[in-house]
Structure 1
Amino acid sequence: MRPFFAAALAAFALSAVPALADTIRIGTVPGGYGDSIAAAAEEAKAKGLDVQVVEFTDWTTPNVALQSGDIDVNYFQHRPFLDNAIQQRGYEFADLGVGALANVGLYSLKHKSLADIPQNGTVAIANDPVNQGRGLLLLEKAGLLKLKEGVGYLGSLDDIVENPKNLSFTEVEGPQLVRVTGDVDLALGYPHFIVASKAFDARSGLAYSGIEDKRFAILFVVKKDRAADPDLKAFVEVYQSSPKVRAVLAKAFADDPKLYALAWLND
């Protein structure tokens, strides 16, 4: 989706539903994250918290909206993504705690194993710096390529030093990877997007990341001057303690523990 179109949709969502003065507006993305925030919002009413969920269709606008004050919290990004956004845009953001850890996987609708990926095969991978690096680390873990020593999660396609199958790469915005999986030999995939799309079985991955990727747990992010806000902190506590939230997340990840983890339980 083009950035200006996504921004227009987000702006419409923000203007279409007027907020009360005491309303907590939480920006998130569709699927498991949005559904889990909505479940927590229902339970937060019992604590006197009025929560409004605002969904965005891209990974840029939620930070722009937070910076401008159009929302109070966002819940869509992990630590490396946040750190990169702060470095690139100068945001003064802080986090209030962690939520779900969505593992990533390598998926193929053409081949049954990594060994079957052909010479000169095609691979779809995320186009943003952080998630591309995460995908490359998983490809390295799977034995399909080798990266420069010490490159870490900020690696890019330029950091590939060994590519024995001469794989070629197509860069795609993360939420859209599920749409192109059938067009390539192998694709990086996000299980919750796959479950939400019903495009194919999210449990069919050929390889997955795991709890060792905890730095990629999704964060509740606020502007620094609201890091001590008791209402915002109370909402995070509701989210982390809610059985309904856990049930929603389980459904979003196909009830399969290899696809996700509740990161706050591992703090």
Structure 2
Amino acid sequence: MKIAQVLALSASILTFGAFAANDYSGPLKVGTTAAFAPPLETAVAEAKKQGLDVQLVEFTDWTAPNVSVENGDIDVNLFQHKPFLENANQQGGFHLVPYAPAIINNIGLYSKKHTAIDQIPDGGTVAIANDPINGARGLLLLQKAKLITLKPGAGLKSTVDDIASNPKHLKIIEVEAVQLSRSLDEVDLAQGYPHYLRLSKTIDPNNALLFDGFEHPEIEMQKQALIVGISGVIGRALAEKLQSEGWQVTGLSRGRGAIPEGCRSLTADLTDAEAVSTALSQEKPDAVFFS
């Protein structure tokens, strides 16, 4: 599995009505980060062929894209999952809402020093993301690996203070998520995002010691993101770009939508999170196109 699921990238907008054809005059400014710029560049080019004036704005951190939408500097962004957006709204006082998911990825635990979880030494150093939601994802993944145990009820807002047991006395350090790939030379284990590992070329993103996966019940973002689908020009261009880069893309539809050529086609009730999770856990694709 090149890229594992669960990180659902939401397009965040102030109001859907702003994009009505009769009301909007371009350019439509779309914010993103380096990891997702390549497929979006293809989507933007395709959109322009369809008569849409679209401008891609690339950011180097995960705060500025939401600030820019809130301030009206850009119209929409694509880089985050729903719980991250909800936390950003709460912490930043934003008024952003998710429009549609685009790409579903997951995270993994990576090491350049060890080839299996049980090789992580007593007192080893582990790097996780330093933001509230993605740091919790890292902790939940460490719990799945049986390296730590979290307090009962700890979920997507877990912090290191929620660690109930740490039998290997691991030193857990918090690093900006986009810099985690660079930490691999210095730590025993790091939470990793395959798309950033791809860019950094520090390690093969396929070689995680453990992925979080669809079967992980605590990852509620998985269910929230899978209920709504994306289709049309932008979604199709994204799917085709990912396929051209060697991703295994699965198309999931209600049975009526057109799936891009070359996609493995599945049918499910997109309003039923359990049905969607079941279908995709059997397929284990790198990315999912919804129609």
| TM-score using structure 2 length | 0.72
- Alignment length (residue pairs): 228
Question: Where does residue 238 of structure 1 map in the other structure?
Answer: 233
Q: Distance in 2 between matches of 1:111 and 1:85?
A: 35
Structure 1 residue 82: Cα displacement: 0.4
Q: Distance in 1 between matches of 2:166 and 2:99?
A: 40
Asked whether 1:22 is paired with 2:26, we answer: yes
Q: Which residue identity does 2:241 align to in structure 1?
A: V
Q: Which residue identity does 1:249 align to in structure 2?
A: L
Aligned with 2:206: secondary structure? helix
Aligned with 1:139: secondary structure? helix
Q: Distance in 1 between matches of 2:234 and 2:50?
A: 12
Structure 1 residue 92: Cα displacement: 1.1
Aligned with 1:101: secondary structure? strand
Q: Distance in 1 between matches of 2:248 and 2:190?
A: 20
Residues 50-61 of structure 1: pairs in structure 2 closer than 5 A = 50-61=53-64
Return the match for 1:255 from 247, 256, 276.
247
Structure 1 residue 263: Cα displacement: 6.3
Asked whether 1:71 is paired with 2:74, we answer: yes
Distance change (3 Å), C-alpha of 1:259 and 1:205: farther
The structure carrying a bigger helix percent of its residues is: 1
State the superposition RMSD in angstroms. 2.5
Structure 2 portions without partners, runs of 5+? 1-23, 250-283
Q: Distance in 2 between matches of 1:153 and 1:262?
A: 23
Contact 2:248 2:286 in 1 (8 A): yes
Asked whether 1:48 is paired with 2:51, we answer: yes
Q: Distance in 1 between matches of 2:145 and 2:156?
A: 15
Q: Percent identity?
A: 44
Aligned with 1:202: secondary structure? coil
Q: 1:167-209 CA deviation, whole Å, 9 max, x = no partner? A: 0011100010000111100000000000111112111110001
Q: Distance in 1 between matches of 2:241 and 2:134?
A: 24
Q: 1:85-131 CA deviation, whole Å, 9 max, x = no partner? A: 11112211111100111210000000110000000010011000000
Question: Where does residue 264 of structure 1 map in the other structure?
Answer: 290
Q: Distance in 2 between matches of 1:218 and 1:248?
A: 25
Question: Where does residue 9 of structure 1 map in the other structure?
Answer: none
Contact 1:101 1:217 in 2 (8 A): no
Question: Where does residue 7 of structure 1 map in the other structure?
Answer: none
Contact 1:109 1:182 in 2 (8 A): yes
Structure 1 residue 249: Cα displacement: 2.8
| TM-score using structure 1 length | 0.79
| Structure 1 residue ranges (4+ consecutive) displaced by more than 6 angstroms after TM superposition | none
Q: Which residue identity does 1:205 align to in structure 2?
A: A
Asked whether 1:193 is paired with 2:186, we answer: no
Q: Distance in 2 between matches of 1:205 and 1:88?
A: 32
Q: Distance in 2 between matches of 1:116 and 1:259?
A: 28
Q: Distance in 2 between matches of 1:241 and 1:211?
A: 23
Question: Where does residue 215 of structure 1 map in the other structure?
Answer: 221
Q: 1:39-86 CA deviation, whole Å, 9 max, x = no partner? A: 111111232111110000000000111111110000111111000011
